[in-house]
Amino acid sequence: MLRVVKPPSEVDLVAAEQAAAAFLVALGVDLDTESLAATPARMARAYAEMFTPRSFDLTTFGNDAAYDELIIARSIPVQSVCEHHLLPFLGVAHVGYLPGERILGLSKLARVVELFARRPQVQERLTQQVADWLQDHVAPRGVGVVVEAEHLCMTMRGVGASGATTVTSALHGQLRNDAASRAEFFTLISANQQEAVHHA
């Protein structure tokens, strides 16, 4: 079992609270009210939480059954923060791989997504980092990652494109190089969406 430890971080909540208060005051927010007085502290704690992934153990098992078909976790929740505006982007990740000698514990796919989502990010990099990490640590025959997210920096400001979704993908190994495997991956991750439309 490989121990995966979150990157060392030094969170200074006192300094963050002071900075949040100065930021809000500079924007003309009156903090001298009962409902807003504790907002800088809450803001500091919220961002500290959004920027801190939980540590976890990378649990893998020997592929004793020589399973050689796709393993996919669909609709893993993604909660991250755009590094350009520090506004959230929210959505789902679909993560799949063709196992080699080791099988990954299923919950760890969600943990890996969180590992790279809990920091200031851009969606393209997040998608690539998850795929690269799985390729490097599990050595599968192929990896596929698709992230679909709505960015509040696009829906709440600027163009105001409410409901717009951004889709990014990253593929390695057989899922990148073999057309049939790639097509199967994309078919399987979209199956739940097709079923939802069919039953609507």
**Candidates 79, 135, 137, 153; catalytic one:** 153
Here the tokens at position 147 are 């992230």
**Candidates 49, 83, 124, 195; catalytic one:** 83
123 catalytic residue (yes or no)? yes
**Candidates 121, 123, 129, 174; catalytic one:** 123
What φ, ψ does residue 3 adopt, rounded to 5°? -80, 120
**Candidates 18, 85, 137, 150; catalytic one:** 85
172 catalytic residue (yes or no)? no
**Candidates 94, 128, 148, 151; catalytic one:** 151
94 catalytic residue (yes or no)? no
The whole-angstrom separation of Cα 134 and Cα 192 is: 24
Here the tokens at position 193 are 């969406």
**Candidates 82, 114, 129, 148; catalytic one:** 82
| CA distances for 189 relative to 96, 126, 140, angstroms | 9, 18, 18
Cβ–Cβ under 8 Å, residues 162 and 155: yes
151 catalytic residue (yes or no)? yes
- State the DSSP code for 118: S
Strands 56-58 and 2-4 come out as antiparallel
85 catalytic residue (yes or no)? yes
Helices (H), the chain: 13-26, 39-50, 107-117, 123-138, 152-155, 174-177, 179-199
Here the tokens at position 196 are 């939802």
**Candidates 84, 101, 124, 195; catalytic one:** 84
Would you please indicate which residues are annotated as catalytic (active-site) residues?
Answer: 82-85, 123, 151, 153
